[in-house]
Structure 1
Amino acid sequence: MLSFLLNHIALSVKNVDESVAFYKKVLHLKEIKNTASNSKTRWLSLGEGKQLHLIPRPNLEIKTNKAVHFALSTPTLVDFVKHLESLEIDYSDWTNTVNKDYVRKDGIQQFYFQDLDGYWIEVNNA
């Protein structure tokens, strides 16, 4: 039987410096050393050994939709919503109702917002 654990998420970004600043400010992620290469790719810690790799691709057109997203969980969802509002970052439910969350059939509360390159991020209280 095969077994896997999540190691990292990699995103192509237009401006790596601005994206690093966004993820630090919005998600309070800490930058860590890129141990794989001397490239301009920058790494952020997602905790528990998991990482977010931001790969600079200034000339690449980035296309995505809400079905392509990554999800983070927090027990302090209400506090995080207040944080987003203080940063004037809109969030929405799955059907794009602005500044509204959604409670799934299993009772998990969730919402979505976008980063600077249009990637969707789900935050829930799973």
Structure 2
Amino acid sequence: MLILGIDHAAIKTSRLDESRSFYTEVLGLRDGPRPAFEFGGAWLYAGEHDVVHLVETDQDKAPSRVASINHFALRVADIDAAAKRLRERVVPFQSETTPGGELRQLYVTDPNGVRVELNAPG
């Protein structure tokens, strides 16, 4: 078996509209085609690839900071532009740089408590 990479993140949410708005209006993904599942949700795309699957549920879930999976990461073209976009939309974030400066990171939290890392080369 040869793993090529991570395909997408699936997030269960009782806040579908708010979550969709966060990922599209704040982070810049776009709403796109989704199979006709028997449950609500949305598939959000970066370019031509679906990277976030929102799965509608009627119960809140635990935030990612207390789950085994702490966060997922999305690569951005320009980390400074991403930080500016977050500031303009008054979205709190944390900024970090990996030791050695090889990777610059911004951490945001979605409406469901899921931590999302935005990163770009340092």
* TM-score under structure 1 length normalisation: 0.81
Counterpart of 1:17, as a letter, is: D
What's the counterpart of residue 64 of structure 1? Answer: 64
Percent identity, aligned pairs only?
26
Structure number with the higher strand fraction is 2
Deviation at 1:63, TM superposition (A): 3.0
Counterpart of 2:45, as a letter, is: S
Q: Distance in 1 between matches of 2:7 and 2:120?
A: 21
What's the counterpart of residue 18 of structure 1? Answer: 18
Deviation at 1:38, TM superposition (A): 4.2
Q: Alignment RMSD, CA only?
A: 1.9
Comparing 72-81 with 82-91, greater Cα deviation is found at 72-81
Comparing 41-50 with 75-84, greater Cα deviation is found at 41-50
Q: Distance in 2 between matches of 1:115 and 1:57?
A: 16
* TM-score under structure 2 length normalisation: 0.84
Query: Which one of the candidate residues 83, 104, 112 is aligned to 2:98?
Result: 104
Give unmatched runs, 5+ long, in structure 2.
Answer: none
Give unmatched runs, 5+ long, in structure 1.
Answer: 93-100
Deviation at 1:36, TM superposition (A): 5.5
Question: Where do 4+ consecutive residues of structure 1 move more than 6 Å?
Answer: none
- Residues matched between the structures, number: 117
Q: Deviations over 1:5-55 (max 9, x none)?
A: 322210011211111111110111111111262431211113352421101
